[in-house]
A and B are shown apart, each in its own frame.
Chain A
């Protein structure tokens, strides 16, 4: 086989794989638009806030994806919905405004696509980040104390200080990364219906 013919064949095969998926994928799901939710009169999926987008990067950099997926499977052959991880399966439109688009391929802990629906109180999420076992004694999630600062307590407790015992008169205050991460987790909520994925 001549080198040029082999080169052409390989190049075509590689292009086929690339175009067949990325370009065709772009025409199929890349041009999806948000839709109007008639119940709330809001467009869905919602555009996440800037803080939540920063939080997505903190989520990735802390390696949360190594244990938590962000994709709910449908009712056939999986128990994701029965476990209460969502009211419907995840579809491409849900990821329209997610930057970066994180999915996750491992589950040591639960799926977090709808964590905001399950844990509504941001303070509870904050406490989970600081010390997961304080919130749930059987949790295997590691603590993230580096997302919190220890500051000398003033005459009164700061609003966002965690309700943990003070050490050397220092309060435990979430830093910017912790706040961004919690904002991101609070943005993870698929409680809206889409034409291709109605709520169960």
Chain B
């Protein structure tokens, strides 16, 4: 029988490149986000430092790109490269090819970031970068995705079904969404009026059919493994899975309020958003029994803690989208900072917590290393969650005030800007807290990988061998 270390050995460099890159990009994204908030708070900054790449209009697409492709995209792929061979028992054959794919992805992020800062965005939703970057991402994904797809068979077939199904969908959605958007938007295959629809479809594919399912793969696989409990109802899980993939592509239409998209599409977007929330609730119902009576374990195990926060934020995030899609609400929150709150909830709350929780859970078992400091883990958790909560609530309140003021023609624009200041200040504090937490996490990650400090908190975080549920973890260990 192949040992876990043998299974993973050929892919370990690729996983490290993806995870290491992900953390570096996350720090950079956090820094750029803070700079952009400062630009809004102190417009004088842009007068003191009138440099094109330092402007708010360049910083926002740059950090959004980094969050999507650099931090979350790269990180989730890295975690999957660790996880999939361990579950399926099928080792990656061509380690160097995988490493090449991982390096190519990082190169794509680096060139994309440079282009966005120096030359600016294309202005297209979810396709803010040039064709060459799309090509790099698709090539890299072909390599990494092919490697991961091999793991869909093997021993995993005897394991839980839902993570495999979500992975299958996510692997298909990324090239379909990005490739078709690229063809239609950049090669003039459609007139301007259809391009807007294509942008919304591309956005939905990227967020709701690629990143969300990838995060759900980790939730369903690691939750059941860490808690030692199985999902209670497979039919409900299958229904939620089908609903996610049938409706996810329509969600972007709910971003429009009136405007140049046919009204039936906007209505379809609203209905899909409401129904996908029901699917998320269905998944929430499946997660709940996994937590029950496990509070002490969740408190003790930072991986489980972050995964729990990520799981509940997933349900909240889709509930939030459903709330925003309601016509009366949408009229007041469109074009406002509520969209920044949504981005915070999805990226920093949902995807981010699941990604970091998975790294905490998998890194010690995959590389046989421990975390050097237990207090630092706790600090990371609290900085992350408080930072996300503070930022999201500040942006929400700012957006509500902004929307109400926009809809009152008696309120001048300068007054609306001044309304935002206190909320931007608290959002800035939240973003800084998150960044401090992420710096702590990155320091822990790199010092654990490089074994810079003696391990002080390995088994408390992810017991190896696990004392509580040896059977449940066997799927990951061998």
Q: Residues on A close to B: CB < 8 A?
A: 1, 3, 6-7, 9-11, 13-14, 16-18, 20-22, 25-26, 28-30, 32, 56-57, 59-67, 69, 71-74, 76-79, 82-83, 89-110, 133, 138-146
Contact partner, A98, options B52, B176, B192, B249, Cβ 8 Å: B192
Set of chain A residues within 8 Å of B260, measured between Cβ atoms: 71, 90-92, 94-95, 103
Sorted nearest first, the 4 A-B pairs with minimum C-beta distance are A63-B57, A17-B249, A60-B123, A61-B120
Q: Are B194 and A30 within 8 A (Cβ)?
A: yes
Q: How many A-B residue pairs have CB under 8 A?
A: 243
Q: Are A62 and B409 within 8 A (Cβ)?
A: no
Q: Complex: how many Å from CA A72 to CA B60?
A: 23
Q: Are B122 and A60 within 8 A (Cβ)?
A: yes
Q: Are B165 and A6 within 8 A (Cβ)?
A: yes
Residue in chain B with minimal CB distance to A29:
B193
The answer to the question of B119 belonging to the interface, with a C-beta cut-off of 8 Å to chain A, is yes
Contact partner, B201, options A21, A32, A69, A143, Cβ 8 Å: A21
Q: Are A79 and B409 within 8 A (Cβ)?
A: yes
Contact partner, B121, options A60, A69, A108, Cβ 8 Å: A60
Q: Are A60 and B120 within 8 A (Cβ)?
A: yes
Given A60-B121, A140-B417, A142-B39, A18–B265 Cβ distance below 8 Å?
no
Contacting A at CB under 8 A, from B36-69, are 39-40, 43, 46-47, 50-52, 55-61
Residue in chain B with minimal CB distance to A141:
B43
Q: Are A105 and B168 within 8 A (Cβ)?
A: no
Given A9-B242, A30-B193, A61-B120, A107–B335 Cβ distance below 8 Å?
yes
Q: Which of B20-28, B251-259, B353-361 contacts A (4 or more CB under 8 A)?
A: B251-259
Chain B contact-residue range equals: 35 or more
Q: List 19 A-B contacts (CB under 8 A).
A: A1-B165, A14-B205, A21-B197, A21-B200, A21-B249, A22-B184, A25-B194, A32-B191, A62-B57, A63-B55, A63-B120, A71-B260, A78-B407, A83-B409, A92-B260, A101-B196, A101-B199, A105-B255, A107-B402
The distance from the CB of B339 to the nearest CB of chain A, in whole angstroms, is 6
Contact partner, A63, options B56, B124, B209, B409, Cβ 8 Å: B56
Q: Complex: how many Å from CA A9 to CA B238?
A: 11
Q: Are B56 and A101 within 8 A (Cβ)?
A: no
Residue in chain A with minimal CB distance to B414:
A138
Q: Are A17 and B248 within 8 A (Cβ)?
A: yes
Q: Are B56 and A142 within 8 A (Cβ)?
A: yes
Set of chain A residues within 8 Å of B259, measured between Cβ atoms: 71-73, 89-90, 103
The answer to the question of B224 belonging to the interface, with a C-beta cut-off of 8 Å to chain A, is no
The distance from the CB of B328 to the nearest CB of chain A, in whole angstroms, is 7
User: Most chain-B CB neighbours within 10 Å: which of A10, A57, A97?
Assistant: A10
Given A1-B161, A142-B39, A142-B56, A101–B193 Cβ distance below 8 Å?
yes
The answer to the question of B406 belonging to the interface, with a C-beta cut-off of 8 Å to chain A, is yes
Set of chain B residues within 8 Å of A83, measured between Cβ atoms: 409
Set of chain B residues within 8 Å of A92, measured between Cβ atoms: 193, 196, 260-262
Q: Complex: how many Å from CA A197 to CA B327?
A: 21
The answer to the question of B292 belonging to the interface, with a C-beta cut-off of 8 Å to chain A, is no
The answer to the question of B188 belonging to the interface, with a C-beta cut-off of 8 Å to chain A, is yes
The distance from the CB of A71 to the nearest CB of chain B, in whole angstroms, is 4
Given A62-B120, A78-B331, A25–B168 Cβ distance below 8 Å?
no
Given A60-B123, A140-B43, A145-B50, A14–B335 Cβ distance below 8 Å?
no
Q: Complex: how many Å from CA A90 to CA B261?
A: 9
Set of chain B residues within 8 Å of A6, measured between Cβ atoms: 164-165, 168
Contact partner, A142, options B43, B261, B407, Cβ 8 Å: B43
The answer to the question of B31 belonging to the interface, with a C-beta cut-off of 8 Å to chain A, is no
**Inter-chain pairs besides A100-B123, A139-B414, 19 sampled, C-beta below 8 Å:** A3-B152, A10-B165, A13-B249, A14-B249, A17-B201, A17-B246, A18-B180, A29-B193, A29-B194, A60-B121, A67-B56, A89-B258, A92-B196, A95-B192, A95-B195, A95-B196, A101-B196, A142-B46, A144-B52
Set of chain A residues within 8 Å of B141, measured between Cβ atoms: none
Set of chain A residues within 8 Å of B184, measured between Cβ atoms: 22
The answer to the question of B173 belonging to the interface, with a C-beta cut-off of 8 Å to chain A, is yes
Q: Are A66 and B196 within 8 A (Cβ)?
A: no
User: Most chain-B CB neighbours within 10 Å: which of A17, A18, A140?
Assistant: A17
The answer to the question of B198 belonging to the interface, with a C-beta cut-off of 8 Å to chain A, is yes
Q: Complex: how many Å from CA A96 to CA B153?
A: 48
The answer to the question of B267 belonging to the interface, with a C-beta cut-off of 8 Å to chain A, is no
The answer to the question of B408 belonging to the interface, with a C-beta cut-off of 8 Å to chain A, is yes
Q: Complex: how many Å from CA A71 to CA B173?
A: 29
Q: Are B204 and A67 within 8 A (Cβ)?
A: no
Given A10-B245, A25-B265, A96–B191 Cβ distance below 8 Å?
yes
Q: Are B61 and A66 within 8 A (Cβ)?
A: yes
Contacting A at CB under 8 A, from B252-280, are 253, 255-262, 265, 268
The answer to the question of B250 belonging to the interface, with a C-beta cut-off of 8 Å to chain A, is yes
Q: Are B195 and A101 within 8 A (Cβ)?
A: yes
User: Most chain-A CB neighbours within 10 Å: which of B61, B260, B337?
Assistant: B260
Set of chain B residues within 8 Å of A143, measured between Cβ atoms: 46-47, 50
The answer to the question of B169 belonging to the interface, with a C-beta cut-off of 8 Å to chain A, is yes
Set of chain B residues within 8 Å of A93, measured between Cβ atoms: 193
Given A1-B238, A142-B56, A18–B176 Cβ distance below 8 Å?
yes
Q: Are B197 and A25 within 8 A (Cβ)?
A: yes
Q: Are B122 and A22 within 8 A (Cβ)?
A: no
Residue in chain B with minimal CB distance to A145:
B50
Q: Complex: how many Å from CA A106 to CA B58?
A: 14
Set of chain A residues within 8 Å of B61, measured between Cβ atoms: 63, 66
Residue in chain B with minimal CB distance to A133:
B47
Set of chain B residues within 8 Å of A26, measured between Cβ atoms: 190, 194
Q: Are A61 and B121 within 8 A (Cβ)?
A: yes
Set of chain B residues within 8 Å of A76, measured between Cβ atoms: 258, 331
The distance from the CB of B35 to the nearest CB of chain A, in whole angstroms, is 13
Set of chain A residues within 8 Å of B173, measured between Cβ atoms: 14
Set of chain A residues within 8 Å of B180, measured between Cβ atoms: 18, 22
Q: Are A17 and B197 within 8 A (Cβ)?
A: no
The answer to the question of B185 belonging to the interface, with a C-beta cut-off of 8 Å to chain A, is yes
